[in-house]
Structure 1
Amino acid sequence: MTREEMADAIAADPRLVPLLQRLLFAAGMNGYDPPLAAMGEALGRALDDDGALDESTLLIQVLDGITPVHVQALELLESPAPGRTAENHVVWTNGNLLRKSVSPHLMEMALAGLVARGLVITPNIVGDADNTVGYDLTELGRAVLEVVRRHLDQRNT
């Protein structure tokens, strides 16, 4: 769509105004291009398809504030994990995630943000003595990682 076509589509459907405002605010607050490009893609879907407005709104909310540290955490969670639960399921734990990170403090904050966004779950406590928490990607987390990677790949080519 051209700018004029986008302006006409937004003027024709006032429900799109808050979505555009959120995207513009996120663009002003976060300079990390891959999630911003994905947010723009979500806005484009909402402009093209009235039925995509709710999904696009939720996707923009999830992507808002995603940083390279969040992406690093998602990529670690996608890779084979060194920890095991009592049921012998392989999981990432807060301990081994923090050891893999350049900054454990930043990784802790990123994990909390990913859990709050629904991109990561904490399905169980792995160790009772030290309250070791297990982490796992959700399907939404995998989808967000895929979208961010696609935009990273486009930027690098």
Structure 2
Amino acid sequence: MNLVQFVILSIYYQYLIKNTVIKQLIKILQAPAVIVFFLDFFKLEGMMTFNSIFATIRTFLLLSYGILFFIQLLFDEDLVKEAIFINTLPNFWFNAGLFIYLCATFLHYLTFNFFMKHGVANSHMVILSLVFISGIIEGILFYIGLLKAKKQHA
């Protein structure tokens, strides 16, 4: 499911980002990420463990795409000319929700196998709580994005 999510979100960011070089880079980076997924799944960590290597790389790439989208919004001359505030765009809210969730899951994916190997369950539970809280915040921000999209179509 992580692989499917990564491909879908990469296509989403390809659609959002206007810079053709970055669009091409997103398309190119999908291939090495898929290779890392299969290496991680079949060779490095195996099928019976959490594949934190791919999950960490996937999350880092998606965070990078989100940062690039935020930067694009900040310097978008078309939005300035039309006097459109970025907080009125549904994709801003969707990206903000994804970004908050991915920030928390990046920490979780990066440390998961370490905490499981060394039996530090309490630290893992704190990070997992942050992931759950960020998921709630993501849902709220997605809802705001959906409200903004509804207003644009009305």
Q: TM-score, normalised by structure 2?
A: 0.31
Q: TM-score, normalised by structure 1?
A: 0.31
